[in-house]
């Protein structure tokens, strides 16, 4: 398969490795990016791996993805639970979307149980730790190849 997949990460995920390691582990976002780049290379696809703490950046990247991406993987972090604007942007994206959460948001505080983004996601992966990114990418590659 050739093509481009976006992986978009929301606020505070730049601090993976330092941030609440008992919940999110000790792997950094750079390590996750490297794992994903290896999978992409093996499968002959291109990857854009992005992170921002600003909601408008995530929205603009989703708009960019409309023009060029075959699929979008997103961990919107806390914006999952608050952002109708991100849901609206995803509604304009017509290719598969996989939502990833490192932790199992359903086992945590009740305010994390609802994700606006899930309403538009093709699939949701939560609770597999950072392996969720790998699983999402493998699945996205097979979805995009069909």
Residue ranges binding ligand DQA (CB under 6 A)? 12, 75, 77-78, 80, 101-103, 105, 112
Are residues 9 and 51 in contact, defined by beta-carbon separation less than 8 angstroms?
A: yes
114 among known catalytic residues: no
24 among known catalytic residues: yes
Are residues 75 and 16 in contact, defined by beta-carbon separation less than 8 angstroms?
A: no
| CB nearer ligand DQA, residue 9 or residue 43 | 9
**Closest among 84, 90, 51 to 72, alpha carbons compared:** 90
The one catalytic residue in 24, 79, 116, 133 is: 24
Are residues 55 and 34 in contact, defined by beta-carbon separation less than 8 angstroms?
A: no
In the complex, minimum distance from the CB of residue 52 to ligand DQA, in angstroms, rounded to a whole number: 13
In the complex, minimum distance from the CB of residue 102 to ligand DQA, in angstroms, rounded to a whole number: 4
In the complex, minimum distance from the CB of residue 20 to ligand DQA, in angstroms, rounded to a whole number: 9
| CB nearer ligand DQA, residue 52 or residue 103 | 103
* CA–CA distances in Å: residue 11 to residues 14, 33, 144: 7, 16, 27
Q: Active-site residue numbers?
A: 24, 101
């Amino acid at each position: 398969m050739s093509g481009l997949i976006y992986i978009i990460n929301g606020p505070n995920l730049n601090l993976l490795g330092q941030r609440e390691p008992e919940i999110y582990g000790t792997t950094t976002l750079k390590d996750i990016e490297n794992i994903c780049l290896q999978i992409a290379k093996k499968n002959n696809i291109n990857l854009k791996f992005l992170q921002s703490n600003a909601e408008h950046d995530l929205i603009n990247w989703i708009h960019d993805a409309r023009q060029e991406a075959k699929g979008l993987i997103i961990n919107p972090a806390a914006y999952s639970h608050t952002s109708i604007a991100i849901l609206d942007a995803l509604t304009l994206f017509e290719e598969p979307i996989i939502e990833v959460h490192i932790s199992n948001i359903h086992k945590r505080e009740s305010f994390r149980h609802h994700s606006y983004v899930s309403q538009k996601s093709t699939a949701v992966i939560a609770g597999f730790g950072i392996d969720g990114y790998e699983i999402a990418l493998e699945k996205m590659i097979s979805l995009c190849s069909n």
